[in-house]
Amino acid sequence: MIKQEKMAIVSQIEIAKNIFELTVSGSLVQEMNEPGQFVHVRVADSFEPLLRRPISVAKIDKEASSFTMIYRSEGRGTSLLSQKTERDTLDVLGPLGHGFPVDEAGKKAYLIGGGIGVPPLYELALQLNARGVETVHILGFESSEAVFYEDKFRALGDTHIATVDGSHGTEGFVTHILNGLPNDFDTYYSCGPTPMLEAVQWAYPEKKGFLSYEQRMGCGIGACFACVCRTTRSETDYIKVCSDGPVFPAGVVIS
């Protein structure tokens, strides 16, 4: 069930260059189940900036009634968000959308993430490992300064890092790493920039895959029709990324 709550800020830490890890607590956490869902966050009490910001959920801790978001501070909204401290509260709407189906993983899954698409794969990796699924993580970043959660992923399974400038791990994109890995997995899950999602789909046309899409949103709950994409199902079929997604099976969304 979707709730709106003024949540307490537990911690906010800059874990990489302009990348912030923000943990908040409140009863809304009890509604969270699927990895890959997101929340819609209001960064100011005023109407400037006006709209909420969609941010993915990186970790759910039901016992502590807290969850963690990881976001990049780049625009006006996220830069305001990054200035919030433990003394502030945060207006959160969520959980929103449909996440990654964990029961479709099979025995071995590839988790492929790019940049700020990496965070939701962390909660996914935790849940898959808890179910006994072997996870391999292929994560791409701009440069060594932007890399985060490498050790946390490594603790859960084989982890490969690519950076565009080659300052850490393999030089290039996640696809360069994928080319050298065996095809012995059952399912892939991916989140990142649209060109990366396209490349991943191309790389594994025969595999079962689930992709998390990004699109400019208005309401975040499916009412405003801002984040609509056409699909391969028919000429007139469409999906709303916010409420039908953001996760869809590979081969469905025309992005």
Partner 1 sequence: MTDLSVKLPGLDLKNPIMPASGCFGFGKEYAQLYDLSKLGSIMIKATTAEMRLGNPTPRVAETSSGMLNAIGLQNPGLEKVFGEELPWLDQFDVPIIANVAGSLAEDYVEVARTISKAPNVHALELNISCPNVKQGGITFGTDPNVAKELTRMVKDVSDVPVYVKLSPNVTDVVQLAKAVEDGGADGITMINTLLGMRLDPKTGRPVIANITGGLSGPAIKPIALRMVYEVRRHTKLPIIGMGGVAEVDDVIDFLSAGANAVAVGTANFVNPFVCPELIDKLPERLHELGYESVQELTGRSHRL
Considering the complex, what minimum distance in angstroms separates the CB of residue 41 from partner 1?
11
> What CA–CA distances, in Å, run from 15 to 119, 126, 198?
12, 19, 28
Site string for partner 1, 29-68 (x = CB under 8 A): -------------x----xxxxxx----------------
**What are the DSSP E strand ranges found in 97-222?**
108-114, 134-141, 159-163, 170-171, 187-191, 208-212
- Identify which of residues 42 and 137 has a Cβ nearer to partner 1 in the complex: 42
Tell me the closest approach of the beta carbon of residue 236 to partner 1, in angstroms. 6
Query: DSSP code of 197?
Result: H
Residue with tokens 């440069």: 143
Among 173, 201, 243, 247, the residue binding partner 1 under the rule CB under 8 A is 243
Residue 218 in contact with partner 1, rule: CB under 8 A: yes
Q: Which is nearer to partner 1, 6 or 154 (CB)?
A: 6
Q: Of 142, 127, 153, 110, which Cα lies nearest the Cα of 33?
A: 127
- Closest Cα partner for 214 from 190, 192, 188, 189? 192
Chain residues 66-105 in contact with partner 1, contact rule CB under 8 A: 77, 93
Q: Would you say 16 or 239 has its CB closer to partner 1?
A: 239
Q: Indicate the residue type of 30.
A: Q
Does position 199 interact with partner 1 (CB under 8 A)? The reply is no
- Contact between residue 118 and residue 159 where contact means Cβ atoms under 8 Å apart: no
Q: Name the 3-class secondary structure at 48.
A: coil
Residue type, 101: P
For the chain, how big is the Rg over CA atoms in Å? 17
Minimum CB separation of residue 206 from partner 1 in Å reads 30
Among 146, 219, 247, 250, binds partner 1 (CB under 8 A): 219
Which residues, 220 to 239, sit near partner 1 by CB under 8 A? Answer: 220-230, 236, 238
Query: Which part of the chain contacts partner 1 (CB under 8 A), choosing from 121-129, 144-152, 197-205, 218-226?
Result: 218-226
By residue count, the chain amounts to 255
Positions touching partner 1 (CB under 8 A) are 1-2, 4, 42, 47-52, 77, 93, 215-230, 236, 238, 243
